[in-house]
Structure 1
Amino acid sequence: MSALARILVIDAGTTGIRALVYDEQARIVAQAYTEFPQYHPGPDRVEQDAMEIWDATRRMVAQALGNSGTAAAEITAVGITNQRATTVIWDRETGLPITRAIVWQDTRTADRAAELEAEWGERAYRRTGWSVAPVYSSLSIEWVLRNVDGARELADAGRLAFGTIDSWLVYQLTGRAEHVISASNASVTGSYDLIADEWYTEWLDRLGIPVALFPQVRDDSGVLGHTTAEAIGARIPIASAIADQHSALFAQGCIRPGAVKCTHGTGTFLDMTIGSKPVIDPASGLTSQIAWRIGGQTVYALEGYAGSTGAAVQWLRDGAAIIADSAESETVARRVADNGGVFFVPALTGLSAPYWDPYARGTIIGISPGTERGHLARATLEGIVFSVRDFVDAMSAVSGYPITQIAVDGGASRNDLLMQFQADQLDAVVTRPKNTEATSLGAALLAGLATGVWQSPEEAVATVEIDATFTPRMDAGRREDEYAAWRRAVERARGWLKK
C-alpha cells in the first residue's frame, strides 16, 4: 500500500456533482456537492446542459480540494464515476455541445424503439446485452441527427463527437485532448457488441450513425489521459473512469462470480458479478454488461434496474409535498403499521426490467377513506423493493447463483425501514457498509489500483467496513400475498400512455 496518497474522485450523478478527496486508507478526507439544472421541455423529455455539468465539476473540485487542504499538485490520481447512457454530442472544432444532453431517463425515442423491436429486438439483445429501449444512447444520437439543425451535415463532415458523461469530463479535463470512454460505460450505451468486443457497426449502420462519432474504449482502471493545469490546477493522471453502478459493485467487494449489490439512487439497480464471459438471456429482461476492465481483462455482470425509485421519494417531497426531505420518508412511514392496502408503482418515466415498458406511468392504487400520508410514504418505500423483486428470481435463474445476501448502498440505504423490508421481501440478508457513497469509493479504489496505491483488487476492496446487517423476519405467506398484490398494481400501470 502506498503512503500519503490522495485520490480525487468526480462523481457525476444524474442530479448533481460530488467531488471527494480520498486518502490511502480509502477514507473520505473532504467533499463538496452541488446539483445542476434538469430540463423537461416535454413530458417524455429529460435534458441537461453539458457545459453546466462541466462548470459544476470545476467548482466542486476546487471546493473539495480547498476543504481538504490539498493542493491540486498533491493529488496522486483522478477517478471518475458517472450516470450512465446520458448522451452528449459536441462539435470537435468548437468543443461545444450542439444540443442539450439527453438523459438516460428520457423516453422521446419510445416509439422508435417499438418500431425497431420486431426486426432488431432479440438480434440486438444477443449482441449488446440490452433490450432495444429509449435508454439506448444510439437511439438518442439518431434522434439528434434527425432533429437538430445542421447535425447531420456536421456528422457527415466528421466534426461531431459522442460520449457519455465520463467521455465529456475526460475531454474537458485533458484540455480537449482525449475522446475516450471506459469499457463499462461503452457497454451500457446499447451500441457496443459484447461478443465482438467493438462498437456494434451493423446496428449503427442501420440507424445511419457514423462510427466515427464514437470514442476509443479504454480500461476502467488505467490512465485515460492527464488533467491540464488550466482545468483543475495541475497535471494529474486520470486513472479510472467507471459507470456508477459498476463502481458500486466493485466498491462493495463484489469481485467474485455470484456476488450481488443493490444501489438505491435516482433509480434502484441490482447487479451481480458473473465472471469472464457475458451471459445473455433475452427472455429474462435482464441486461448483460461489462462490469469493469482492468489490465485488458474484462469482468461481466448481470443487471436489473427500476428507473424511478429514488425519484418517487423526491416526488413525495417536491410534487406531493407530504415530506420535507427524503430522510423524513422513514419517519412518516413508521407512523402506520403497514401500507393500508396502498401500492405505489414508481413508473414515473416507464417500467424497466423485466417489463421494458416506456408507456407505463406512476400509479398509486388502493386509496380508501382511511388512507393517510404515512400509508403513501410506506407504499413508496415498499414500491422500491417490489421493483427489485420483479427481477431477483430471473437473475438467480440466469446466473445459476442463488441470491441469499445483498450488499446495499446509495442514499436510501440509510433508511432502516426500507432495508428491513428489502430483507423481508427478497428473503435475503442485507448488509450496509459504513461508507454508503459506494459509487465514488469504487472509482477511488480503481484509480488507486492503477497508480500503485493498492496492489490488487483484493487489497483494494479489503478497505470496505460493514455498518449494519438486516435479516429476513417476514412470514413466507405474507411475503407472497403482498407481492401478488404488487403484480396486480403493475398490470394497471402498464401501457398507460400507449394509444
Structure 2
Amino acid sequence: MTSEKTFIGAIDHGTSSTRFIVFDLLGHPVARHQQEFKQIHPKSGWHEHDPDVLISSVVDCIDKAVEKFAQQGHDVSDIKCVGLTNQRETMLVWDRETGEALHNAIAWPDTRTTSIVRELKAKDGADDLRSVCGLPLSTYPSSLKLLWLLRNVEAVRNAYDAGRLMFGTVDTWLLYRLTGGKDGGVFVTDATNASRTMFMNLKTLQYEEKHLQFFGLDRSKIHLPSIVPSSSATDYGKLGVSRLKGTPITGCLGDQSAALVGQLGFSPGSAKNTYGTGCFLLYNVGNEPVISKHGLLATVAYDFGRPLKPVYALEGSVAVAGSGITFLMQNLGFATQSDDINALAESVDDNGGCVFVTAFSGLFAPYWIDDAKGTIFGITQHTQKGHIVRATFEAACFQTKAILDAMEKDSGQSLAKLAVDGGMSNSEICMQTQADLIGIPVDRPAMRETTSLGAAIAAGFGVGLWQNLDELMAMSRRDRTHFEPVLSKEASAKMFTRWERAVEMCRGWLDTTEQQ
C-alpha cells in the first residue's frame, strides 16, 4: 500500500463530545466531524451520560466524517484501520445476557462516592493500594463508582448476584457495542484505561486479586474485560456498524495517554498538558512505574506491545479547566461562544484581585481535597466579568504549576518546556499566563488534535504502518507557537502564594453530613 492512499481513522470520545478524524500518515487531518452530547446531572455532584447516546454519537461522527472524506475524492477503503481514545474513569455496567446497560454511565468528575471513599480509607489495607495501582482512594477512579451502583441500584446488584454483570470503562463499552454487542462483541480494555480502575497491578498489567477483595468483589460474579496492549492487529475486532463496517480497530488509548503519544512524548522526561474539560499533565518516566510521594498519580502511558516494553507516566489531574469556561457561559451567561470569553479576558489587565478555586468536584492533584467546593475570593464592587474570566483561566494554570512542582520533587528533574493541547490552549492569554506562572516556555502545536492523533498512531502501530517511533518524529513539528515567560519570578510567586491561601480557605467547606 502507498502512503498517498493510506489513511487512519480515530474515534475520539471525550467528556462532552465525540469526534471522528481521518488522518494521513504524516499526521494531517483530512476529514472530521464532531458532535456534542448531553451531560446529565440528576443531583448536585452527580454527572452521568446516556450509554446509548455514547454509541450513536460515535456512529454518527464516523458516518459524517467518512462522507466528507469521500466527497474529497478518496476511496473509503483507503481507511485501513481505526483507533479509539476515550474519557477514562467514566464507567458502565451491563447485562451479559441482553447486552444492555443497567444504568447511565457515571462520569469521572462525579462525586457521589465521597462517603464511600471516607469509609474505605479507614479499612485495613487502604494504605497499600497506591503502591500497586498508582491511584489514591478518591471519587475519581472507576472502582468507587462500581461500588456505589452495587449498593444503590437493584438491577445492578441482581445482575451481580446472578453472575451476569459486565463492567467496563468507556473504551470497553464502545468496543463491545461497535463490534457486535451480545452477538460476538469484543470485551477488552487496554492497560492505559485499566490503570484507572484501581483493579490493575501497574507492573504485571493484570488484575490484582487483593484489590478486588479489598473492594469486596467476587470474580465469579462480575465479568472484567481482558487487558490487552494499546496496539494490536486482532484484539479489538472490527467495526460492525457505520460506513466503515468491517474495518479493523487496531489501537486504543485513554485520552490523556493518547495526547502524550500525539505530542510524540516518547522520551523519558517529556511532558504534555491537555486543557480539555479537565486539565491533565502527563510526564514520561520510562519503563518502570514511579509511585508519587507528592500527590500525583502513577499510570501507564502506553503499551505498544512486544517487543516494546510498556511506558509509564506520572500524572496530575485537574478536575476543572474548560468546564470552568463552560460554567461561565452556560450557568452565568457570560457569553455565548469561546471567542467572546477571550474578549472578556482581554478587556481587563489582570484578575482584579479575584481568585477562583474551581473545586466543582473537590480538588484533584496534588491536593486531593474532597470536601472543597468552588469558591471565588476577592470580589469587590469593582469586579467585572473579565476579572472572573481571568481568574478561571488562572485556576487551571495555578493547579498545573502545583503539579509541575510535585513532579519535579518526585522525579528529581525540572522540565525545560511544557507541550500543550486541548481547547483552552487556544487562548493566548491563558497560555501566556501558564508560561508566566511556571517560568518555562509553553509549546503549542498548530494542529491541536493531538489526542485523536495519538489514537491514530496506536492504530497504525497495530497494523505495522510504522515500524518504530523514530518514523513519527517529523509529525506535528510545523508552525508551533512558543510562549516565553515575561512575568518576574517574584510577581509569579506572589500570585501562587495567594492561590495556595485560597485553596486552604476552601478546605472543609462540606461537613460530614453534607457529604453523605
- Partner secondary structure for residue 281 of structure 2: strand
Equivalent position amino acid for 2:174 in 1: L
1:317 Cα shift? Answer: 0.5
Q: Unaligned stretches of 5+ in structure 1?
A: none
Q: Is 1:185 aligned to residue 193 of structure 2? A: yes
Q: Is 1:302 aligned to residue 314 of structure 2? A: yes
Contact 1:257 1:274 in 2 (8 A): yes
Identity of aligned residues (%): 37
- Partner secondary structure for residue 225 of structure 1: coil
1:150 Cα shift? Answer: 3.1
- Partner secondary structure for residue 222 of structure 1: coil
Contact 2:45 2:361 in 1 (8 A): yes
- Which runs of structure 1 show a deviation greater than 4 angstroms over 4 or more consecutive aligned residues? none
Q: Which of residues 133, 147, 151 is equivalent to 1:142?
A: 147
**Alignment CA distance shift 1:115-1:236 (3 Å):** same
Q: Which of residues 114, 118, 125 is equivalent to 2:118?
A: 114
Q: Is 1:408 aligned to residue 413 of structure 2? A: no
Residue in 2 aligned with 1:164? 169
Q: Unaligned stretches of 5+ in structure 2?
A: none
Equivalent position amino acid for 1:127 in 2: V
Q: Is 1:375 aligned to residue 383 of structure 2? A: no
Equivalent position amino acid for 1:112 in 2: I
Residue in 1 aligned with 2:287? 276
Bigger drift between 59-68 and 446-455 goes to 446-455
- Partner secondary structure for residue 334 of structure 2: coil
Equivalent position amino acid for 1:221 in 2: S
**Alignment CA distance shift 1:230-1:353 (3 Å):** closer
Q: Is 1:290 aligned to residue 300 of structure 2? A: yes
Separation in 2, partners of 1:452, 1:299: 19
Q: Which of residues 92, 102, 105 is equivalent to 1:88?
A: 92
Bigger drift between 357-366 and 117-126 goes to 117-126
Residue in 2 aligned with 1:53? 54
Separation in 1, partners of 2:412, 2:243: 46
1:225 Cα shift? Answer: 2.7
**Normalization by structure 2: what TM-score?**
0.94
Equivalent position amino acid for 2:462 in 1: A
Separation in 2, partners of 1:181, 1:440: 18
Residue in 2 aligned with 1:194? 202
Residue in 2 aligned with 1:441? 453
Q: Which of residues 221, 230, 238 is equivalent to 1:220?
A: 230
Residue in 2 aligned with 1:19? 20
**Alignment CA distance shift 1:406-1:459 (3 Å):** same
Bigger drift between 152-161 and 415-424 goes to 152-161
Contact 2:94 2:165 in 1 (8 A): yes
Separation in 1, partners of 2:338, 2:127: 39
1:25 Cα shift? Answer: 1.8
Residue in 2 aligned with 1:237? 248
Equivalent position amino acid for 2:289 in 1: P
The Cα offsets for residues 259-280 of structure 1, whole Å up to 9 and x where unpaired, read as 0101000001111000000000
**Alignment CA distance shift 1:72-1:160 (3 Å):** farther
- Partner secondary structure for residue 298 of structure 2: strand
1:157 Cα shift? Answer: 2.6
Bigger drift between 364-373 and 323-332 goes to 323-332
Separation in 1, partners of 2:126, 2:410: 19
Equivalent position amino acid for 2:198 in 1: G
**Normalization by structure 1: what TM-score?**
0.97
- Partner secondary structure for residue 425 of structure 1: helix
1:298 Cα shift? Answer: 0.5
1:6 Cα shift? Answer: 1.5
Separation in 2, partners of 1:180, 1:264: 28
Contact 1:6 1:76 in 2 (8 A): yes
Equivalent position amino acid for 2:160 in 1: A
Q: Would you say how many aligned residue pairs link Structure 1 and Structure 2?
A: 498
Q: Which of residues 169, 174, 182 is equivalent to 2:179?
A: 174
CA root-mean-square deviation: 1.5
The Cα offsets for residues 176-234 of structure 1, whole Å up to 9 and x where unpaired, read as 22100011001112221113432122121222223342100011111333324445442
1:376 Cα shift? Answer: 0.9
The Cα offsets for residues 78-111 of structure 1, whole Å up to 9 and x where unpaired, read as 1000001111111111111011111001111111
Separation in 1, partners of 2:244, 2:380: 59
